[in-house]
Amino acid sequence: MPQARSGLPVQRVRQALMQGLACLWLFACLCAGATLHAEDARRSPHPEVIVSAEWLRDALARAPGEARPVVLNASWSEDGVAREYLSGHLPGALHLDTDRLETGFPRWALRTLPELQQVIGELGVGPEDTVVVYGERSIAAARAWWVLMYAGVHDVRYLDGGLSAWRAAGLPAQTAANTPTPRLFSARAREDFLISTDEVRRRLQDPSLQLADTRGWAEFNGLTSGYDYAAFAGRIPQAVAVGNADDSAEIYQDAAGRLRDPQAVLTRWREEGLDPGTHELVFYCGTGWRSSLTFLYAYALGLPRIRNYSDGWLGWSTQHQPDPEAKGPSPGWRQIPSGNPVESPVPAVLRPR
């Protein structure tokens, strides 16, 4: 019988090789299966993220000792007074001042992750809690929802219709403020929820990425910046207009503040030219509020690759330089073009001044 160089019979060498190849094949299958399972999880729809007043009523009525959701009213404080919250809120709800999520005038950019997590901890929220957010403005609640999810809270829900839906269901509200018990918040952020200006710039010509502009028609076409504190109008090149997500437009929510059917929204997006099946979708608006609402829809639908460009048009188009002599939309700050490429469909001489 012929012998292999090692002195082992050729048949045994072949058997060993076949067994080795089989092990490699099995290992590859297991790895592929794990990857597929992970991808399937990312693609899974999340309809449970949008809840009704009745669902919340039942969740809050759980027996003592059972976990109940933390309820947050997302609204801003004018002159330090939380008028929306104090005029009436859900029983037990805490106030999340949306100003605390941003850097403030003149930029209104998203705060750093450690700062956001500190705010969440001061509300007494932990990463393992179920949190329900609502607000008189859908985009304020969506912004809070997105920030909490991005910062690492595992289970955040959006109350459809907010306080109006709660009252319409015959449920009581309260006006007395509730005080949180602060705690240390530590969690792993969902980094894939966010995309930076640097990455958008770097991938502007990437055919696998689509920019979804969630601003109004006049903003998209360069007639107005859309913000009284923003000087420049226009859009990011190659962006697709998917409809104004502001409450007043009533495209993504009705007059009562209830969200539209997510499947109908997806149909609209496809008609506008978005292709979630083959593209990574990046939603943007002016400063990240409206894009948070469209991100919420995309997450509920289970679209596989979605990001929120929170810097938005203001972060893309504008740099701020301190200047005590500056007037205009940002007194004390001079606005200069960022140098990033922009599309301004309306000639400069025709734009409002």
Task: List domains and CATH numbers for the chain.
Answer: 47-190 (3.40.250.10), 194-350 (3.40.250.10)
Name which residue leads in pLDDT, 67 or 291: 291
pLDDT at 276: 95
Residue pLDDT, tens place only, 159-191: 999 999 999 999 999 999 999 999 999 999 999
| Residue 8 reports pLDDT greater than 90 | no
Please write the tens of the pLDDT for every residue from 255-294: 999 999 999 999 999 999 999 999 999 999 999 999 999 9
**Residue 351: which pLDDT band, with cuts at 50, 70 and 90?**
low
What does the pLDDT look like over 101-142, one tens digit per residue?
Answer: 999 999 999 999 999 999 999 999 999 999 999 999 999 999
Adjacent-strand bridge partners of 96: 74
Mean of pLDDT values over 49-53: 98
State which of 8-22, 56-70, 305-319 shows the largest mean pLDDT. 305-319
Percentage with pLDDT > 70 across the chain: 86
Predicted local confidence at residue 352, as pLDDT: 52
CB atoms within 10 A of CB 128: 10
Please determine, for residue 16, whether its predicted confidence score (pLDDT) is greater than 80.
no
Q: What is the pLDDT of residues 183-210, one digit of tens each?
A: 999 999 999 999 999 999 999 999 999 9
Instruction: Average the pLDDT over 35-49 and give the result.
Output: 61
pTM summary value: 0.86
Name the average pLDDT for the chain.
89
Lowest mean pLDDT of 30-39, 299-308, 316-325, name the range. Answer: 30-39
Residue 24: pLDDT above 60? no
